[in-house]
Amino acid sequence: MRILLCNDDGYFAPGIEHLARVLSDVAEITVVAPERDRSGASNSLTLDRPLSLKRAANGFYYVNGTPTDCVHLAVTGMFDELPDMVLSGINIG
């Protein structure tokens, strides 16, 4: 099973790291999250500038946009295979 994991606190947040570690026992995990805390903007799309995707040292991907941007990029051609499931969390707020 392939799981796409996102959040609104950013790719560096302890909650997403913990969830990815726990889920990796039962699935192939891909993390795509915002490059910074985007709490309160999770359902919006970035339309006023180009988005960039980068890979962090921990293997997570991050985007200079919202959580919705992250999921949209991940399921519209960023990876060869679509996830079976998309999860969001664990969030601080």
- pLDDT tens digits, residue range 18-65? 999 999 999 999 999 999 999 887 679 999 999 999 999 999 999 999
Provide mean pLDDT across the span 66-72. Answer: 96
Report d(CA 76, CA 72) in Å as an integer: 6
Q: Is the pLDDT of residue 78 over 90?
A: no
Structural domain harbouring 8 = 2-88
pLDDT tier, 93 (very low <50, low <70, confident <90, very high otherwise):
low
Number of domains in the chain: 1
- What confidence category does residue 88 fall into, taking pLDDT thresholds of 50, 70 and 90? very high
Instruction: Give the SS3 label for residue 71.
Output: helix
**93 domain residue, yes or no:** no
Asked if residue 78 belongs to a domain, the reply is: yes
Strand 85-88 versus strand 2-6 pairing type = parallel
Q: How many helices (H) and strands (E) does the chain have?
A: 2, 5
Q: In whole angstroms, what is the distance from residue 76 CA to residue 16 CA?
A: 22
Q: Does residue 91 surpass a pLDDT of 90?
A: no
Contact 62, 33 (CB under 8 A): yes
